[in-house]
Structure 1
Amino acid sequence: MTVLALPREALVAADLQRQSAHWLSAAVTFEDAEEFASAQAWASVEAQTGLPLRRQLGAAVRELVALGREAHALATAARTDASRLPAAARAVQVFRRRYTQVETTLEFFGDAVNSRTSAGLRATLRLLDSLAVQGMAPVLVPAGIPVPPVLCYVDKGLGASILRAGIRLWHPGTVNPVAAIKVVRHNLYRPTSLFHETGHQVAHLTLWTGSVRDAIAGVLVGEPGLARMWEPWASEIAADVFAFLSTGYASVAALYDVVGDARTILRWPLGDPHPVGWLRTRLGCALCRAAGWGAGPWDGLEDAMLAAHPASSADPSVADLLARSAEYLLALAGACLGAPVPALGGRPMASALDPGRVSPAALAALERSAGAGAWTSPHWRRAEGIRLVALAGLREAEDPDHAPAWIERARAWMSSAPPAGG
């Protein structure tokens, strides 16, 4: 043992002991999940989502606390043994950095769970958790891929987002056990974006994005300039197609409400993975036609957008690309619908999610058969929840005079949803 002979060494060792005690006491509070979200909020998360999440977070906390205790022991020993000082200094630095990583992970999921601030929001988000899983199952189950649990949360902003299941989290060695999906407030009761985000998860698991990129390249084989523009958008286009196959025209109208800002709809920021809003909206309308639906409200939406935002208003360097792209939209829509899914043996996504089920005609038939009970019956919620989202979104979009009534109907239906199985 080398006794601390220098006052400076003694001061450093004492300070390391103080620092480690501080960070350790903070880390120990992480053992209580209610430090980050209320017991009510945690209780509203389904067991198949909450349990793996709590296990993963709990393991990260236990590892952090063990690391902190080791650092504190080294710092304490360094007060009487100078040879331990370098190791203690390193251990405290490692521990405080790991603390920040674990805290970031816990705060993210705590904020997500704690967004369930009222009984109505808890019911709505729990329903969205269930619908997201239901929406992925027709593709992933036949492919033999486990359907990941979903944790939905509400937040500000214009667009939704996903932290995919299976990716590495901020804390080293921690793999995200759930698909965490942000649903923005303005679309909470018209949640077609939920299926855009689950589309990202499904496309990743089934290796579909590459096929969509190849399908785009095949259409634009004679237009290398357009191909260079469109191919990097494949991931977002795949997610848009998945949302369309899940909720039909409602997803197109909801998308336009997000991208329809006059300041950005005609802009093409370099590196943005999303298509130019003007093209993205028109591609959505083209999907309706490529699905064989003929004329419909998508025609009026497209005409309204073209009148409000003519391509000629874009920067000259972009305007030409927009005009040339317009010639290929129907072919691109058809190619994307027919893009093979490797995990489905090369069958298209539409073989698992038939677009005919969310056509206006099919949704009208659902409306007639379900009647008023569609919006109150647990049976219809369980059996046709996703198509009811599609129906409400379609009716809201196609009839502005009655849109407020449909918005309120959807809100009441979603926020009064009983617990799963009810």
Structure 2
Amino acid sequence: MTALAAPRERLVAADLQRQSAHWLSAAATFEDAEEFASAQAWAAVEAQTGLPLRRQLGTAARELVGLGRDAHRLATAARTDPSRLTAAARSVQVFRRRYTQVETTLEFFGDAVSSRSSQGLRSTLRLLDGMAVQSMSAVLVPAGIPVPPVLCYVDKGLGASILRAGIRLWNPGTVNPVAAIKIVRHNLYRPTSLFHETGHQVAHLALWTGSVREAIARVLAGEPELARMWEPWASEIAADVFAFLHTGYASVAALYDVVGDARTILRWPLGDPHPVGWLRTRLGCALCRAAGWGAGPWDALEEAMLAAHPAAAADPSVRALLERSAGWLPALASACLAAPVPAFGGRAMAAVLDPARVSPRALADLERSAGAGAWSSPHWRRTEGIRLVALAGLREAEDPDGAPAWIERARTWMSAAVPAAG
């Protein structure tokens, strides 16, 4: 026969029952996706993205509620059966912690979906969702690799980021079903960084980062100190190359606007996976030359950066590494473009995504052939959206006097409502 719980044990059990009731009541609200984003916001997400996301989040919420009910039953039983008190206390603690993990997951995606707060933003972000998928499909589909759905969202800050599809989320057992890509407000209508982030996803799925690292190591084989500096940057360099192959020089100019802070452009924080901004910008300019484009606006950008941020202004311990690296930039750019991609049977990314398609000459040809309709036609938006981003970014970057007009043209084009397909 089970002994009756002592008064103090009954008090503890009653408090556990109270706690579990509180957290269970809060967790029950998680089963309604509209607790985190409005029905209108969810409706603005394409079905192929929103449905698997809501399904995954719903599963996490239901599992949390089940865990809470178990904890509540144990706490209730412990009021009359002291042998269950330890298990009840442990169960309530596990439930509390899982609640926080699930809440973090749901709040993240709720905030992302809710960033589609106006018709213009909904149109822009849906366009970015589509271009992100298109950028990955061009290389993953031929390799037989499934293309993950994408959820773009807008947020503050300087640089974009990605929560890759397939990674474990904050809640144990929950795998991210979509690539969630943050686009910062200052680059929303010049979204070359979108393709840097899809480059991270592609590099992961196609096993490309290791190949880029090996290419860097071969170039710097005779410079072990430089190799130790450059090799850990392979992931970010691969993503920069992917963005370059989609949007050309526009990606280089946009990158410089992010890294061109005088306080940080010459700094090398240990452990930072991003190249020093000074080298990263120059490598982007070197990519333009390695692609065979000859002279162009990248030369003026590089000269302007060197004048504004001379290597002599760097910390002495970093300055020598910057100056020594400069001589290797042409070889590094060529090596990164030629790095084989294991998932493509050893073909280079540049062989799949021909950089000639986003050269200034090719973009000028696109501008002539599309004419004014490029910025209003659903056909051009659907078939050449990524290259139109490259074109607008190129024109904005190469002509300071005309930049405001190009910025406004891109904003109007991207935020325009797209008629439903007939």
Tell me if the contact between 1:123 and 1:419 (Cα under 8 Å) persists in the aligned partners.
no
Tell me if the contact between 2:165 and 2:177 (Cα under 8 Å) persists in the aligned partners.
yes
Which whole-Å CA distance do the structure 2 matches of 1:100 and 1:25 have between them?
Answer: 14
User: Could you say what secondary structure the match of 1:76 adopts?
Assistant: helix
Which whole-Å CA distance do the structure 1 matches of 2:12 and 2:251 have between them?
Answer: 61
Q: Give the drift of 1:420.
A: 6.5
Tell me if the contact between 1:4 and 1:10 (Cα under 8 Å) persists in the aligned partners.
no
The aligned counterpart of 1:408 is: 408
Task: Please say which of residues 363-372 and 85-94 is displaced more in the overlay.
Answer: 85-94
* CA spacing shift, 1:419–1:336, aligned 2, 3 Å: farther
The aligned counterpart of 1:40 is: 40
User: Could you say what secondary structure the match of 1:262 adopts?
Assistant: coil
1:56 is the counterpart of 2:56: yes
Question: 1:111-126 maps to which residues of 2 (within 5 A)?
Answer: 111-126=111-126
1:316-365 deviation digits (Å, cap 9, x = unpaired): 11111111111010110000000000000000001111100000000000
Matching residue's letter, 2:176? N
Question: 1:148-187 maps to which residues of 2 (within 5 A)?
Answer: 148-187=148-187
1:256 is the counterpart of 2:239: no
Which whole-Å CA distance do the structure 2 matches of 1:58 and 1:152 have between them?
Answer: 20
* CA spacing shift, 1:419–1:88, aligned 2, 3 Å: farther
User: Could you say what secondary structure the match of 2:401 adopts?
Assistant: helix
Tell me if the contact between 2:153 and 2:183 (Cα under 8 Å) persists in the aligned partners.
yes
Which whole-Å CA distance do the structure 2 matches of 1:38 and 1:400 have between them?
Answer: 41
Q: Give the drift of 1:417.
A: 3.8
User: Could you say what secondary structure the match of 2:45 adopts?
Assistant: coil
User: Could you say what secondary structure the match of 1:400 adopts?
Assistant: coil
* CA spacing shift, 1:46–1:84, aligned 2, 3 Å: same
Tell me if the contact between 1:154 and 1:183 (Cα under 8 Å) persists in the aligned partners.
yes
Question: 1:239-388 maps to which residues of 2 (within 5 A)?
Answer: 239-388=239-388
Please, what is the CA RMSD of the aligned residues?
0.9
* CA spacing shift, 1:327–1:340, aligned 2, 3 Å: same
Q: Give the drift of 1:240.
A: 0.2
Tell me if the contact between 2:265 and 2:278 (Cα under 8 Å) persists in the aligned partners.
yes
Q: TM-score, normalised by structure 2?
A: 0.99
* CA spacing shift, 1:81–1:356, aligned 2, 3 Å: same
Matching residue's letter, 1:415? S
Tell me if the contact between 1:165 and 1:178 (Cα under 8 Å) persists in the aligned partners.
yes
Q: Give the drift of 1:192.
A: 0.2
Instruction: Kindly tell me the number of residue pairs found equivalent between the two proteins.
Output: 422
Matching residue's letter, 2:234? A
Which whole-Å CA distance do the structure 1 matches of 2:82 and 2:312 have between them?
Answer: 74
Which whole-Å CA distance do the structure 1 matches of 2:84 and 2:177 have between them?
Answer: 39
Identity score, percent: 87
Which whole-Å CA distance do the structure 1 matches of 2:368 and 2:95 have between them?
Answer: 62
Which whole-Å CA distance do the structure 1 matches of 2:347 and 2:5 have between them?
Answer: 75
Which whole-Å CA distance do the structure 2 matches of 1:126 and 1:360 have between them?
Answer: 27
Tell me if the contact between 1:200 and 1:239 (Cα under 8 Å) persists in the aligned partners.
yes
Which whole-Å CA distance do the structure 1 matches of 2:161 and 2:232 have between them?
Answer: 18
Matching residue's letter, 1:412? T
* Structure 1: gaps (5+ residues): none
User: Could you say what secondary structure the match of 2:180 adopts?
Assistant: strand
Q: Give the drift of 1:5.
A: 3.9
Tell me if the contact between 1:374 and 1:380 (Cα under 8 Å) persists in the aligned partners.
yes
Which whole-Å CA distance do the structure 2 matches of 1:179 and 1:243 have between them?
Answer: 16
Question: 1:64-213 maps to which residues of 2 (within 5 A)?
Answer: 64-213=64-213
Q: Give the drift of 1:2.
A: 2.7
Tell me if the contact between 2:288 and 2:298 (Cα under 8 Å) persists in the aligned partners.
yes
Tell me if the contact between 2:168 and 2:176 (Cα under 8 Å) persists in the aligned partners.
yes
The aligned counterpart of 2:236 is: 236
Q: Give the drift of 1:419.
A: 5.9
Tell me if the contact between 1:127 and 1:417 (Cα under 8 Å) persists in the aligned partners.
no
1:384-418 deviation digits (Å, cap 9, x = unpaired): 00000000000000000010000000000001141
Matching residue's letter, 1:316? P
Q: TM-score, normalised by structure 1?
A: 0.99
Which whole-Å CA distance do the structure 1 matches of 2:300 and 2:48 have between them?
Answer: 43
Task: Please say which of residues 84-93 and 366-375 is displaced more in the overlay.
Answer: 84-93
User: Could you say what secondary structure the match of 1:401 adopts?
Assistant: coil
User: Could you say what secondary structure the match of 1:145 adopts?
Assistant: coil
User: Could you say what secondary structure the match of 2:364 adopts?
Assistant: helix
1:218-244 deviation digits (Å, cap 9, x = unpaired): 111111111111001000000000000
Which whole-Å CA distance do the structure 2 matches of 1:248 and 1:88 have between them?
Answer: 60
Which whole-Å CA distance do the structure 2 matches of 1:134 and 1:4 have between them?
Answer: 66
Which whole-Å CA distance do the structure 2 matches of 1:97 and 1:193 have between them?
Answer: 35
Which whole-Å CA distance do the structure 1 matches of 2:219 and 2:371 have between them?
Answer: 43
Q: Give the drift of 1:129.
A: 0.4
Tell me if the contact between 2:5 and 2:81 (Cα under 8 Å) persists in the aligned partners.
no
Which whole-Å CA distance do the structure 2 matches of 1:385 and 1:11 have between them?
Answer: 65
Q: Give the drift of 1:87.
A: 1.3
The aligned counterpart of 1:10 is: 10
User: Could you say what secondary structure the match of 1:233 adopts?
Assistant: helix
1:23-66 deviation digits (Å, cap 9, x = unpaired): 00000000110100111110010011001101110111111111
Task: Please say which of residues 332-341 and 311-320 is displaced more in the overlay.
Answer: 311-320
* Structure 2: gaps (5+ residues): none
Which whole-Å CA distance do the structure 1 matches of 2:321 and 2:309 have between them?
Answer: 15
